[in-house]
Structure 1
Amino acid sequence: MSRIPPNRPPEDVRPPDVTLRTITLVRWGILVWLVVLAVLLGLPSLRTGDREWWVWVPVAGIVLGALGYAYLRRGKGNAAEA
């Protein structure tokens, strides 16, 4: 059994390849959340009473999708340096 120093990863561990298709799917997901948010804001009956929290679901989807998109775009260029 070979010992690997704790500050060095094993040689066979590589960052995952993120394809442009994956990044594009994230963008489409953000667009879908934008459409859902527009529908919820356009139809007040969908966000009244016990459903007033529904507006925050697409907001969270948009924010998390944007963060994921930024992470994927930034992480692909820095993978060689990791």
Structure 2
Amino acid sequence: MDQIQSTIYQETPTDLRRASKVIVLAGNQFQEYDLNQFGKNRIYFGRNEAQNDIVIPVGTVSGSHGKIKIQNGDIYVADLGSSNGTYY
């Protein structure tokens, strides 16, 4: 009798592999963003609508304020030389 060997591969759903959210707090207002919605591993944020994925229309936020980098499942936040800094 021949033996049949099988292996079952179960793919992890995309939303579990990279289920990441960021909350942007500006003054007394906040906005939550799902990082998966951008479909890329570098997400820029700042006041300038044309240059950023996440737009924060607040005077204390620089035009190109910072970026969020996703690498190997880890999330990094970097300030891009903003006037008032980035806190996380």
TM-score normalised over the length of structure 1: 0.21
Return the structure number with greater relative CO, CA threshold 8 A, min gap 6.
1
Larger fraction in strand: 2
